[in-house]
Chains A and B, each alone.
Chain A
């Protein structure tokens, strides 16, 4: 993980290597590039990867289904819709305000998903993410239509496809909010595990089920919104990483969170590196690389022997 992060800071079009850094000193071109672009990019990759993977873990506990994450519950699409709304109605709003609006939309979208789920008691666990993907499809279609009418399709594209190539110093700091929230999630980890045991068990253990659900969804919505605002949607990450961790060490959230965070960050940094190297000096956006690798891993999780999807 640490090695990946170091490698990530030294890959790029411009020549930044430990050698060039030493040769040019702290005022050189390489050092300025490192501080303004490369280090922010690596930090934001690590923050986004870790927090989105944890968001997946939390959602899986709250919904009690291992195939949900922001991109299979309409959360990410709702955040993008919110971002579009604020771009049209209040384009001058500061980034943090935009993020707030996106978070409110993400929360509403996820709430809608839970309401739909409550209406149709789903017996098969793979149907739950299907319902979410359909809902996300509807929200996405509305968003695309509006974006088309106002000639914002290209902007929408940058939100829906996670891409870290535009990350510079001063343009990623919102992600520290996601970091704070993941620490909060770690503190509340046991509550999420208990809620994952079901409403009755949670009530029996003296936990206010609704309050934990609301708090968890708020964390999910804000983290999703910050990542969508700064870099764009990274699909499958919150699904693949927690499932792999669960296979090995189980679902105790407190025990799982550090592993999910490290693996999530490592996965994103590696995919970003891959996207930068495949057709160097051009880049493939991270969202696409993660989408392809993540989808393959997701299929493997579904099809593997003993998977509880059957």
Chain B
């Protein structure tokens, strides 16, 4: 379990994450939604110890994120930020291989090699495995980074807007993949999503944030309601049921 206790992160005088208490990782796929600046990405970075907490405490399976050794955490949780500006010229297979770094400090054994090939196959990257990252499209590169996180073989996987720069087909494929990971490997996925309908269609649980606080939390049916979504996004959103699942209409 990931337990967040009164976590706070300030930039200047504004609290971007404001006294958040939350338990995550109870279900397969948890989606965090909210408007720009709601604190979703910051919260994910705090959990993944990419940012230091100002106050509060975050534990993953009982290990304090701020005090546990880096490589111990790296075998437990993988976190992927949205911008991966890359200047290094690596092949896809090399990059995915670095996902094994926490397991062998650069030495890759047979199990590691199998994990790398599996991650590459999971994301349909076999045709590009020997290509350099700077020769790929944005979507292919994004998938390569997700494959690296997969090769890390952790119980928890934190992804910050992984659908950015993906076309619709690849976006749907990534969400299906996250579901598959949860079902086949028991991975607990926490994913920040921009599009609430992707969250509604694929997540087991939706956490909605606004102004650094959690304002709604529960299964999609309980969060996907007009009055809740209007409070989250400051926008009237009509929710319809299509084939038994809720869909938010907000395009006009």
Interface residues of A (CB under 8 A from B): 61, 64-66, 125, 189-191, 193-194, 196-201, 203-208, 246, 250-252, 254, 308
- Taken together as a complex, chains A and B put the C-alpha atoms of A197 and B75 apart, in Å, by 18
User: Per a CB cutoff under 8 Å, which of A64, A65, A197, A208 touches B98?
Assistant: A197
Asked whether, in the complex, the Cβ of A198 is within 8 Å of the Cβ of B84, the reply is yes
A204-B74, A204-B79, A206-B72 given as contacts; is B101 within 8 A of A194 (CB)? Answer: yes
Verify if B91 is at the interface (C-beta below 8 Å from A).
yes
Q: Are A197 and B101 in contact (CB under 8 A)?
A: no
By a beta-carbon cutoff of 8 Å, the part of chain B in contact with chain A is 48-50, 69-75, 78-81, 84-91, 94-95, 98-99, 101-102, 105-106, 132, 134, 149, 152
Q: Which of B70, B79, B152 counts the most chain A CB atoms within 10 A?
A: B70
**How far is B81's CA from A198's CA once the two chains are assembled, in angstroms?**
11
Closest to A187 in B: B106
The 6 closest A-B CB pairs, nearest first, are A206-B74, A206-B71, A190-B106, A206-B70, A251-B88, A196-B88
Give the docked Cα–Cα distance between A134 and B66 (Å).
39
Q: Given A193-B90, A254-B106, are A206 and B85 also a contact pair (CB < 8 Å)?
A: no
Q: Contact check: which of A193, A205, A208 meets B88 at CB < 8 Å?
A: A193
Inter-subunit contact A208/B70 (CB<8 Å): yes
Neighbour of B101 across the interface among A196, A206, A252, A308, CB < 8 A: A206
Number of A-B contacts (CB under 8 A): 79
- 25 A-B contact pairs sorted by A residue (CB < 8 Å): A61-B88, A64-B87, A65-B87, A190-B98, A190-B101, A193-B88, A194-B98, A197-B90, A200-B50, A201-B84, A204-B48, A204-B74, A204-B79, A204-B80, A205-B98, A205-B101, A206-B69, A206-B101, A207-B70, A207-B101, A208-B70, A250-B94, A252-B90, A252-B91, A308-B87
Beyond contacts A204-B79, A206-B72, A252-B91: 16 other A-B pairs, Cβ-Cβ < 8 A, are: A61-B88, A190-B101, A197-B95, A200-B81, A201-B84, A201-B98, A203-B48, A203-B50, A204-B80, A204-B152, A205-B102, A206-B70, A206-B71, A208-B70, A251-B88, A308-B87
The answer on a CB contact under 8 Å between A251 and B89 is: yes
| Given A190-B106, A204-B79, A66-B71 contact (CB < 8 Å) | no
Select from chain A the residue with minimum beta-carbon distance to B45.
A200
List chain A residues, Cβ under 8 A from B94. Answer: 250, 252
- Report A-chain residues with C-beta under 8 Å of the C-beta of B78: 204
- Across the interface, name the chain B residue whose C-beta is closest to A66: B87
Contact A193 B49 (CB under 8 A): no
A174 to chain B, nearest CB (A): 30
| Most A-side CB within 10 Å, residue of B73, B89, B105 | B89
A-side contacts of B132, CB under 8 Å: 250
Q: List, in ascending order, chain B residues with CB within 8 A of A196's CB.
A: 87-88
- Measured CB to CB, the nearest residue on chain B to A256 is B89
